[in-house]
Chains A and B, each alone.
Chain A
């Protein structure tokens, strides 16, 4: 089972979702993707749109850096 990583903390709309979608497309059943993102629009929308597209959000945690969160998504 592969685990992919993506850092979109420096991206802005729409590239935050675009890059996430492109990475998610690589996932096979059971694979996971760790996404590092900022709070605000990415935090509100990336988990929701991933679930809408049939992925499972395993966890959302704030990292040691305030405002930066780590989301783990699984296919």
Chain B
């Protein structure tokens, strides 16, 4: 039986990241990979879904964002970039502050600096339509640099012929 060989075009340098986790450490990984790849010539796409939407909200702290009572409650619990917890050993919220301090002390880019760099480098930021719908988030709640609101099918088309990572 003949097998078909799928050859990836070697000149395509495209990286697509699905940012599902809203944790401080995982978001830092997403933005480090994204900015590093973009800086060496990759086309980079980030698809923010569920907890990942925290990273692209305009309101960085905790606020009752969302339509309806339950979404608003979660809006307060989730917060934005500033209130993102680490995925382990969060110690009630002290750990992100400790990590930010250590990063600044060692002159490593903080999460906020990486997000700014991502905007400067023209990385494509997308938001998941389904997650926004459930959490009652509008496009106006997101930072203006978000390129579009998409569903799975469109995202897969955009990510085609590149590498895709789920973080």
Contacts and interface: CB of A to CB of B under 8 A. Distances in A.
The answer to whether A and B assemble together is: yes
B120 A14 contact: no
A15 interface: yes
Nearest to B120: A22
A17 B36 contact: yes
Given A11-B107, A12-B107, A14-B35, A45 B121 contact: no
Contact of B35 (A12, A18, A53): A18
A13 interface: yes
Nearest to B41: A53
A21 B108 contact: no
A21 B107 contact: no
A15 B40 contact: no
Interface in B12-68: 32, 35-36, 38-41
A14 B106 CA distance: 13
A44 to B, nearest CB: 12
User: What interface size band does chain A fall in?
Assistant: 10 to 19
Contacts of A12: 106-109
B131 to A, nearest CB: 27
A45 B40 contact: yes
A52 B121 CA distance: 17
Q: Which of A10, A13, A18, A45 has the most CB of B within 10 A?
A: A18
Contacts of A21: 38-40, 121
Contacts of A20: 39
A36 to B, nearest CB: 15
A45 B41 CA distance: 12
B111 interface: no
Contacts of A3: none
Interface string B77-116: 0000000000000000000000000000011110001100
A13 B107 contact: no
B39 A18 contact: yes
A12 to B, nearest CB: 5
A18 B109 CA distance: 10
